[in-house]
Structure 1
Amino acid sequence: DIFTPFFQVDSSVTRENEGVGIGLSVIKQIGQLLGASIEVDSEIGVGSKFIVTMPLRYKSQTQYEYLLKDINVVYYHHNEISSMVEMLGRLGANVSSQRNGQSMMDYISKVKVNVIMFAEEVLPEQVVQLTKHIRERETTYRSLLVYWYPLHKEQYVESFEYDLKAAGIDYCH
């Protein structure tokens, strides 16, 4: 009862201690918002001990660590996993690394995927084919599709960007 608003153990007019009985209920509510817990050790006539335990951020955590929390990302690639996967994970995304077109299609048929990123080593022609298959299978939800092209192909981007976007790629970079 001590956490109930306006509750007082001694509610008599002649009580020894002042107060209206709201302090502990406020502390409990604030603690719940912060994910804290409150422990009480009390003995009548002796006193009470309250321990509030609350989770604190680690010093290494930043404001961006949960920027992509609950975002499902598929990273489609052929070679080694790039630093992109690690960076997306640090931002809080759930990242699935896929190297095979069929396994990727199987995965996205089971999981609601927010973003599909095609690595720069994947040829634009293959991205076009996969994109067409993805867009054909979408019914109620549309994933964001991104193609990362290599810097050395930047001068040729106009030769493949139109086909990619016509197939359903949302963004080329």
Structure 2
Amino acid sequence: MKDLRKYLIGAMAGAVLATAVSAGAASIVPIGKKIDSTYKVTVDGSPLPNQAIVVEGKSYIPTTDVGTATGMKVQFINKSEGIRMTSQEPVAPSVEPGQSSSVPVNPVMVLQVNITKTKNLIMATQALLAELTDPTEKARVQKDLDEQKAKLADLEAQLAALQASPSPSPTPAP
């Protein structure tokens, strides 16, 4: 239970720092602990449905609310692994063969969104890693962090290549 709480705190702290969320709290009360204060949580100016709490100087924010607001997938795996937050890949609108899409997909913007989400995930993972004490768990989280950093490097390389290539001239509509 202690590892789960540490994982949640780290993931939430990273999400807060990465998305400029004002400190906030959840409606869950740790057993035997007094809630010192509660705060409204906002993400990009939009308030989350649940408040954050502060217990013994530590902020606890609602993981699902923050994850959803930042475009991340939030999953409860099990007691030993805890909660996992992962960035979701944007899905291009589906178009039937032979039809054109009425919604243009800007690949630069898609990459920029993925880069931001990956950076947020890296920050949350780093915060979690700093809180862990179990060597096995630290090794697992470090491996995840290394994979996230590799993904970020790949996304940034894709963006640089895309920005360096000449943009195609617009094709006139038929």
Which TM class, normalised by the smaller chain length? under 0.3
Relative CO higher for 1 or 2, CA cutoff 8 Å, sep ≥ 6? 2
* TM score, norm. by length of structure 2: 0.25
Name the structure where strand makes up a greater proportion of residues: 1
